[in-house]
Amino acid sequence: MANSDRADTAIAFVYRGTFVHSTQQTALQILKDALLGVDAQGKIAFIREGKELEKLSQTFGFKTSDITQLAQHEFFMPGLVDTHIHASQYSYAGTALDMPLLQWLNAYTFPVESCFKDLEFARKVYTQIVRRTLRNGTTTACYFATIHTEASLLLGQIANDFGQRALVGKVCMDRNDCVKHYKETLQDSQDETCRFIKELLEKKYPLVKPVVTPRFAPSCTGALLEQLGEIAKNNNLHIQSHISETHEEVKLVKELFPESESYTDVYRKHNLLTDKTVMAHGCHLSDEELALFRETGASLSHCPNSNFSLCSGVLNVRNVLKHKVKLGLGTDVAGGYSASMLDAVRRALDASKVLTIQDPKYKTLSFEEVFRIATLGGSQALSLDDQTGNFEVGKDFDALRINVAAEGGPIDLIQDEEPKILLEKFLNLGDDRNIVEVFVAGRRVVPITE
Ligand SMILES: Nc1nc2[nH]cnc2c(=O)[nH]1
Ligand SMILES: [Zn+2]
């Protein structure tokens, strides 16, 4: 037995067939006729070649009749990681995309988010977004809620109940000159953030954790940013926010924080750039700012649907990768109109092609590279890559069983195809009808049974 296998716990189930995933070395590794075993803790116990069946069944003590065989047009891939999504904006997803960011926030977002004081409204929206994202293969989501502590705790409970891995953020904002009733005092924001963190951690949900969430620099005073940096540090927590999404926003931050050298410097000064920080967008960051991300270990969430829909900008992903900044993909519902990470994959490819159209020397991203950003990249961006992101032994089994030829689905297969073609077709043409099973930490969470 190789050192990388774990034979210390009982095997819960074994699948045999094609597995595709990313590693640090290769954007797309294809394992044909592989055997993957999941233990009682939901962790990957082994992933080996089919011909090793006899030996494996002896070592791990499972019966060969317990194995589930995938069909020829099926494969497993790692679960999709949505590194930036506003659960509270789902009710108006697919509408209200006719304004630039700052006007859009005032006209649509803040009035809708105010409604989450009403817990029944919150329950309805949060149940729908968790179900929808899970069905579309999002096994890990990094959520923005609203400023309301009770509703934010409810989002954590709903994610836990449906079995989704999630970071949940109660939004902090003590500055809002436009919608005056949608903000907190400095003291309330601080106190309620501490209460949110304490109460969510006390629930001991295995897969749901709090994330410190200053909305973005323009809606926070320096004093609040300072406090949130302290809170994150003292509790070793994740941090999320927005950065450099539009030119207008960058200009506003310059006016509001004249003592800072850059937008990134505002967050850095307040100890909000750590290796557990994820910042959405970053379309207009300078090379110096990207270097600060690299130095601090902070990551970016690329949200191309939102960037197109609000006409914000086009992130130069190659430049981000060149600076060795960790990068994931995000839907940014409802600035992005789709809650599906498959849409984010397609829009990321489109964004890359826009840059190639503008400059033919720009090397377009391949579908394999975007696949990696949507899975392993996302897990790294959220500093969860010790638990999820690919099929390494010891990680949790977060996985999608894909049937490319699903009955009534969107893909017609004319002939037998290689796994690489099956993956490419699924990423470009597939939808939830092709995602026949979803596993998070070894638990089957789709089909949704209740
Ligand atoms: N896209 C987006 N950008 C933001 N910047 C600050 N808040 C938001 C938000 O809700 N959506
Ligand atoms: Zn956002």
pLDDT band per the 50, 70, 90 thresholds, residue 5:
low
- Of 394, 386, 387, which Cα lies nearest the Cα of 3? 394
Residues within 5 Å of ion ligand 2 by Cβ?
Answer: 280, 332
In this structure, which ligand is nearest to the CA of 307?
1
Instruction: For residue 391, give Cα distances in angstroms to 83, 228, 331, 377, 388.
Output: 19, 35, 24, 14, 8
Neighbours of 223 (CB within 10 A): 13
Q: Is the peptide bond before 111 cis (omega within 30 degrees of 0)?
A: no
- pLDDT greater than 70 at residue 4: no
Q: Collect all residues with Cβ–Cβ distance below 8 Å to 7 and sequence separation of at least 6.
A: 1, 45, 59, 60
Report the distance separating Cα 418 and Cα 79, nearest Å: 21
pLDDT tens string 196-232: 999 999 999 999 999 999 999 999 999 999 999 999 9
Residue 184 dihedral angles phi and psi, to the nearest 5°: -120, 165
What SS3 string covers 361-423? CCCCCCHHHHHHHHHHHHHHHCCCCCCCCCCCCCCECCEEEEECCCCCCCCCCCCCCCHHHHH
Which tokens sit at 289? 């700012």
Nearest CA to ligand 1 atom 2: 335
Residue 155 CA to ligand 1 centre (angstroms):
19
Residue 441 CA to ligand 1 centre (angstroms):
30
Please answer whether residues 399 and 391 qualify as being in contact, where contact means their C-beta atoms are separated by less than 8 angstroms. yes
pLDDT band per the 50, 70, 90 thresholds, residue 7:
low
- pLDDT greater than 80 at residue 57: yes
Which tokens sit at 291? 């270097």
User: Which atom of ligand 1 is nearest to 109's Cα?
Assistant: 10
8-state DSSP, 105: I
Residue 242 CA to ligand 2 centre (angstroms):
6
8-state DSSP, 70: P
pLDDT, mean of residues 306-326? 98
pLDDT band per the 50, 70, 90 thresholds, residue 1:
very low
pLDDT tens string 269-285: 999 999 999 999 999 99
Neighbours of 256 (CB within 10 A): 16
Note if the pTM is more than 0.90: yes
Report CA 340 to chain centroid distance, whole Å: 11
Round to the nearest angstrom and report the end-to-end CA distance of the chain: 41
- pLDDT greater than 50 at residue 363: yes
- Of 419, 428, 402, 410, which Cα lies nearest the Cα of 349? 428
In this structure, which ligand is nearest to the CA of 83?
2
Residue 85 CA to ligand 2 centre (angstroms):
6
Q: What is the CA radius of gyration of the chain?
A: 22
Residue 332 CA to ligand 2 centre (angstroms):
5
**Widest pairwise Cα distance in the chain:** 68
Instruction: For residue 204, give Cα distances in angstroms to 9, 200, 343.
Output: 23, 7, 33
For a ligand 1 pocket test, name from 112, 216, 284 the mutation site with the most ligand atoms within 8 angstroms of its C-beta: 216
Instruction: For residue 150, give Cα distances in angstroms to 16, 111, 120, 199.
Output: 44, 18, 11, 10
pLDDT tens string 141-171: 999 999 999 999 999 999 999 999 999 999 9
pLDDT tens string 380-412: 999 999 999 999 999 999 999 999 999 999 999
Tell me what pLDDT residue 69 has.
Answer: 98
pLDDT tens string 328-354: 999 999 999 999 999 999 999 999 999
For a ligand 1 pocket test, name from 99, 104, 109 the mutation site with the most ligand atoms within 8 angstroms of its C-beta: 109
In this structure, which ligand is nearest to the CA of 219?
1
Residues lining ligand 1, judged by CB closer than 6 Å?
86, 101, 105, 109, 215-216, 242, 245, 306, 332, 335
Q: What is the ipTM of this complex?
A: 0.99
- pLDDT greater than 70 at residue 62: yes
